[in-house]
Amino acid sequence: MKSRKAELMVGFFVVLTIAAGLLLALKVANQGMSNTGESYVLFAKFDNIGGLKERSAVKVGGVTVGRVDSITLDHEDFTPVVAMSISSEFKTFPETSSVAILTSGLLGEQYIGFNPGFAMDGIENLADGDYIEDTKSALVLEDLIGQFLFGKND
Protein backbone atom coordinates (compact mmCIF):
# COMPACT_ATOMS: atom_id res chain seq x y z
CA MET A 1 0.00 0.00 0.00
CA LYS A 2 2.81 2.40 0.90
CA SER A 3 4.57 1.52 -2.36
CA ARG A 4 1.49 2.44 -4.42
CA LYS A 5 1.10 5.75 -2.56
CA ALA A 6 4.80 6.58 -3.10
CA GLU A 7 4.50 5.78 -6.81
CA LEU A 8 1.47 8.08 -7.13
CA MET A 9 3.31 10.90 -5.33
CA VAL A 10 6.39 10.49 -7.56
CA GLY A 11 4.15 10.46 -10.67
CA PHE A 12 2.37 13.60 -9.46
CA PHE A 13 5.68 15.44 -8.96
CA VAL A 14 6.95 14.31 -12.38
CA VAL A 15 3.80 15.69 -14.06
CA LEU A 16 4.09 18.89 -12.02
CA THR A 17 7.76 19.29 -13.03
CA ILE A 18 6.96 18.80 -16.73
CA ALA A 19 4.12 21.33 -16.53
CA ALA A 20 6.38 23.87 -14.80
CA GLY A 21 9.09 23.32 -17.44
CA LEU A 22 6.59 23.88 -20.27
CA LEU A 23 5.29 27.03 -18.60
CA LEU A 24 8.82 28.36 -18.18
CA ALA A 25 9.67 27.58 -21.82
CA LEU A 26 6.57 29.39 -23.06
CA LYS A 27 7.34 32.38 -20.84
CA VAL A 28 10.93 32.62 -22.10
CA ALA A 29 9.86 32.21 -25.75
CA ASN A 30 7.39 35.08 -25.47
CA GLN A 31 9.62 37.41 -23.46
CA GLY A 32 9.40 41.08 -24.28
CA MET A 33 6.53 42.21 -26.45
CA SER A 34 3.54 39.92 -26.81
CA ASN A 35 1.24 39.86 -29.83
CA THR A 36 -1.85 40.79 -27.82
CA GLY A 37 -1.14 44.54 -27.77
CA GLU A 38 -1.64 47.10 -30.51
CA SER A 39 1.27 47.64 -32.88
CA TYR A 40 2.22 49.35 -36.12
CA VAL A 41 4.57 48.24 -38.90
CA LEU A 42 7.72 50.03 -40.09
CA PHE A 43 9.91 48.94 -43.00
CA ALA A 44 13.65 49.24 -43.60
CA LYS A 45 15.90 48.21 -46.51
CA PHE A 46 19.37 46.81 -45.78
CA ASP A 47 22.26 45.81 -48.03
CA ASN A 48 23.03 42.76 -45.85
CA ILE A 49 20.94 41.38 -42.99
CA GLY A 50 23.52 38.80 -41.85
CA GLY A 51 21.86 36.28 -39.52
CA LEU A 52 18.79 38.38 -38.65
CA LYS A 53 15.67 36.24 -38.31
CA GLU A 54 11.95 36.75 -37.98
CA ARG A 55 10.88 37.38 -34.35
CA SER A 56 14.27 39.01 -33.60
CA ALA A 57 14.00 41.91 -31.18
CA VAL A 58 13.85 45.59 -32.09
CA LYS A 59 15.51 47.49 -29.24
CA VAL A 60 15.99 51.11 -28.22
CA GLY A 61 18.86 51.38 -25.75
CA GLY A 62 18.45 47.73 -24.73
CA VAL A 63 14.67 47.96 -24.21
CA THR A 64 12.60 45.77 -26.53
CA VAL A 65 10.03 47.92 -28.36
CA GLY A 66 9.09 45.47 -31.11
CA ARG A 67 9.88 42.39 -33.17
CA VAL A 68 10.87 41.61 -36.74
CA ASP A 69 7.67 40.56 -38.53
CA SER A 70 9.04 39.41 -41.86
CA ILE A 71 12.06 39.57 -44.12
CA THR A 72 11.45 39.74 -47.86
CA LEU A 73 13.42 40.61 -50.98
CA ASP A 74 12.55 43.73 -52.99
CA HIS A 75 11.82 42.60 -56.55
CA GLU A 76 13.15 45.81 -58.12
CA ASP A 77 16.62 46.22 -56.58
CA PHE A 78 16.99 42.80 -54.88
CA THR A 79 17.71 44.17 -51.40
CA PRO A 80 16.31 42.70 -48.19
CA VAL A 81 13.28 44.51 -46.75
CA VAL A 82 12.65 44.03 -43.05
CA ALA A 83 9.15 44.61 -41.65
CA MET A 84 9.19 45.53 -37.95
CA SER A 85 6.17 45.42 -35.68
CA ILE A 86 6.52 48.23 -33.11
CA SER A 87 4.32 48.51 -30.03
CA SER A 88 1.83 51.40 -30.28
CA GLU A 89 3.07 52.49 -26.88
CA PHE A 90 6.10 53.88 -28.77
CA LYS A 91 4.33 55.86 -31.49
CA THR A 92 6.32 59.10 -31.21
CA PHE A 93 9.55 58.18 -33.01
CA PRO A 94 10.52 60.99 -35.41
CA GLU A 95 11.09 60.26 -39.10
CA THR A 96 14.79 61.12 -38.63
CA SER A 97 15.25 57.85 -36.71
CA SER A 98 17.73 55.22 -37.89
CA VAL A 99 18.11 51.46 -37.54
CA ALA A 100 21.15 49.17 -37.49
CA ILE A 101 21.55 45.41 -37.31
CA LEU A 102 23.57 44.67 -34.17
CA THR A 103 24.87 41.54 -32.46
CA SER A 104 24.47 40.58 -28.80
CA GLY A 105 28.02 39.95 -27.64
CA LEU A 106 30.73 38.66 -29.93
CA LEU A 107 28.88 35.73 -31.49
CA GLY A 108 25.36 36.24 -30.12
CA GLU A 109 22.04 36.61 -31.85
CA GLN A 110 21.37 39.57 -34.09
CA TYR A 111 18.72 42.19 -33.42
CA ILE A 112 17.71 45.59 -34.74
CA GLY A 113 18.98 48.60 -32.83
CA PHE A 114 16.55 51.49 -33.25
CA ASN A 115 18.04 54.96 -32.76
CA PRO A 116 15.38 57.65 -32.31
CA GLY A 117 16.18 60.75 -34.28
CA PHE A 118 15.83 64.36 -33.28
CA ALA A 119 12.41 65.98 -33.07
CA MET A 120 12.02 69.50 -34.41
CA ASP A 121 9.23 71.60 -35.82
CA GLY A 122 8.24 70.31 -39.24
CA ILE A 123 9.52 66.77 -38.62
CA GLU A 124 6.75 64.21 -38.59
CA ASN A 125 6.55 61.04 -36.48
CA LEU A 126 6.86 57.63 -38.11
CA ALA A 127 3.48 56.12 -38.92
CA ASP A 128 2.20 52.69 -39.91
CA GLY A 129 3.73 51.57 -43.22
CA ASP A 130 6.58 54.12 -43.29
CA TYR A 131 10.09 53.26 -44.47
CA ILE A 132 13.09 54.15 -42.33
CA GLU A 133 15.64 55.66 -44.71
CA ASP A 134 18.75 55.67 -42.52
CA THR A 135 19.90 52.04 -42.15
CA LYS A 136 23.17 50.31 -41.32
CA SER A 137 23.66 46.71 -42.43
CA ALA A 138 24.98 43.85 -40.36
CA LEU A 139 28.71 43.36 -39.89
CA VAL A 140 29.56 39.86 -41.06
CA LEU A 141 32.37 38.43 -38.93
CA GLU A 142 33.76 36.31 -41.77
CA ASP A 143 34.10 39.37 -44.00
CA LEU A 144 35.91 41.30 -41.27
CA ILE A 145 38.34 38.44 -40.67
CA GLY A 146 38.95 38.13 -44.42
CA GLN A 147 39.68 41.85 -44.69
CA PHE A 148 42.07 41.68 -41.77
CA LEU A 149 43.94 38.58 -42.93
CA PHE A 150 44.10 39.25 -46.65
CA GLY A 151 43.88 43.03 -46.76
CA LYS A 152 40.83 42.93 -49.04
CA ASN A 153 38.98 46.22 -49.35
CA ASP A 154 35.59 45.08 -50.70
pLDDT digits (tens, 9 = 90+) for 51-78: 889 999 999 988 999 999 999 999 999 9
Global pTM reads: 0.68
What's the Rg (C-alpha) of the chain? 22
Residues 70 and 144 in one domain: yes
Residues 52 and 127 in one domain: yes
The parent domain of residue 49 ranges over 39-150
Identity of residue 153: N
Residues 48 and 116 in one domain: yes
Residues 59 and 20 in one domain: no
Residues 43 and 116 in one domain: yes
Number of domains the chain contains: 2
Measured CA to CA, the distance from residue 40 to residue 89 in angstroms comes to 10
- Given this model, what pLDDT does residue 23 score? 87
Residues 91 and 109 in one domain: yes
Residues 23 and 52 in one domain: no
